[in-house]
Amino acid sequence: MEPILEKLMEFIDHHKMIQKNDRVLLSLSAGKDSMFLLNALVSLTESYSMEIGVFHLNHMMRGNESDADEDHIAAAAHSYGIEIIAQRHDFKDSACRGKSFEEHARDIRYKLLNETAASRGYTKIATAHSRDDNVETLLMRVLTGTGIYGLKGIPPVRNNIIRPLLDLSAAEIYDYLKSRRIEWREDSTNKDSAYSRNFIRNELLPLIRSRFPMSDTAISGLREVAADSIDLIDHLIEASYPGLVEKRMNAIYIDVQKIMHNRPVFNHIVGRSLRDNFNHHVSRSLLNEIFSKFNTVKSNAILFANNSIHAEKIFNEGRSFLKIYASLKSVSFPDEWEYEIHITGNAGIVVQLPEIGIKVAINACDYNYYQNFKKNNHSVFVTVGNNVDTIYIRNRRNGDRIKTECGVKKLKDLLIEWKLSGEEKNRTPLLVVGSAVAAVMPGLINGTSNRVSSDFLVDKYSKKVISVTACS
């Protein structure tokens, strides 16, 4: 095995990116890094007993060039006998909503990636970010403003997204492709320094590297120091303030009364909760504003709100809490909602659930797939009869019950045990087969636990299994 592939495997194994029998969806353009990732992971397929597929998003920004990129990556995938899912999005007519084009394109790409992976049963998504991408990202964050979290750069693993190439330089990747005569395509827009990242790549970094030859190593070292510092801070705060943050449904509850004497700790915990749970980054000045408002207001009040996030001061049992939750679009929904879903063969179905702000991917599979799937609380599996081709996803109804190992339990009692508010109870999705509640699924929203009826538990005798997975 070539040294670069050995180095790649060491990085993958160190970060536990790929497990046996994983199905990995590669997010690829037609550029150098993408073509290397495709070729390299094809070479490692047997080593990990994995299955790979390819996803390509045609941005439709460069006319025939964009179409040629799509054709190139499709031909490469077909040459390896790999599934290719190519989608198109017209970014020229797409509203950026106050974001830069780069941010908007990234958001759309990851949204489509997650939906595709969930609907087609892929367990991991791999992107082709290299060490040079991480250097560019870190430098851009420093120049545009960032806190210590921003100095961590691009993480090797985040949820189901893996980045196997982060330990490889552009030069190493280039040498590999040239030695194997693997062709790639150059994106002409990469030369346009009007884009911030291109300016850093094309104009700024060459100047820095010419004056400071070890700058890449220094920047990478800063990233490692920041990551270690954050781990230490998180450990110390968890040790000093255990049980400070509680997740319920789509909301985070922070017992900030315990830390109101320490503004830096407050800022760290609130900022981390926004980043980790809502992928929402706020400035230090805004965190300071929330801190001051929390100290000032004497009753329940909204401290911060925008189109995606609400931060609210609430009182419960004589104590004050900071509640952070995702904003829903100002649409009036009925108290009761229900979706009828028809299952045909093994084809995946994606269903929008606007009442709870997510989409779910629904698949018919078998026990072997269930066994090999990496379990998480964003997915629920139930076994059904071979003749079942219709299921329902809905919220609760009066009289709903679920069967447990200890007998039949009122759903009302179960939701009370979970300490859910009235709104949260109505938003908890149920999986219903016939007239029976097969599963109660709050984990689809917030990653907490789910409950499957004892009549619908999957075992080795299951012939037909239904999976429900949150995909946005």
Per-residue pLDDT tens for 223-251?
Answer: 889 989 988 998 998 898 888 888 776 68
Grade residue 23 by pLDDT with cuts at 50, 70 and 90.
very high
Q: Is 70 exceeded by the pLDDT of residue 327?
A: no
**In which residue are the tokens 């980045």 written?**
163
Task: Return the percentage of the chain with pLDDT > 70, whole number.
Answer: 92
Grade residue 18 by pLDDT with cuts at 50, 70 and 90.
very high
Q: Is 70 exceeded by the pLDDT of residue 94?
A: no
Tell me the pLDDT of the chain averaged across its residues. Answer: 86
Report the alpha-carbon distance of residue 273 to residue 268 in Å, rounded: 9
Strand order in the sheet with 157-158: 83-88, 51-58, 23-27, 124-127, 161-162, 157-158
Q: Is 80 exceeded by the pLDDT of residue 90?
A: no
Res 472: pLDDT: 56
Give the residue, 281 or 36, on which the prediction is more confident. 36
Taking only the tens place, the pLDDT of each residue in 146-185 is 778 888 888 899 888 999 999 999 999 999 999 999 999 9
Q: What's domain 3-219's architecture?
A: 3-Layer(aba) Sandwich (3.40)
Contact 467, 379 (CB under 8 A): yes
Of the ranges 37-41, 139-143, 199-203, which one carries the lowest mean pLDDT score? 139-143
**In which residue are the tokens 């299952």 written?**
343
Res 333: pLDDT: 45
Res 253: pLDDT: 87
Res 421: pLDDT: 67
Of the ranges 213-217, 283-287, 421-425, which one carries the lowest mean pLDDT score? 421-425
Res 98: pLDDT: 47
Grade residue 345 by pLDDT with cuts at 50, 70 and 90.
low
Domain boundaries, the chain: 3-219, 243-326, 338-470
Res 430: pLDDT: 95
Res 74: pLDDT: 93
Among 265, 247, 242, residue whose Cα is nearest residue 448: 247
Task: State the average pLDDT over residues 27-45.
Answer: 95
Q: Is 60 exceeded by the pLDDT of residue 332?
A: no
Res 471: pLDDT: 78
Q: Is 50 exceeded by the pLDDT of residue 426?
A: yes
The pair of three-digit structure tokens given for residue 102, joined into one six-digit string: 């780069």
Among 127, 102, 99, 100, residue whose Cα is nearest residue 113: 127
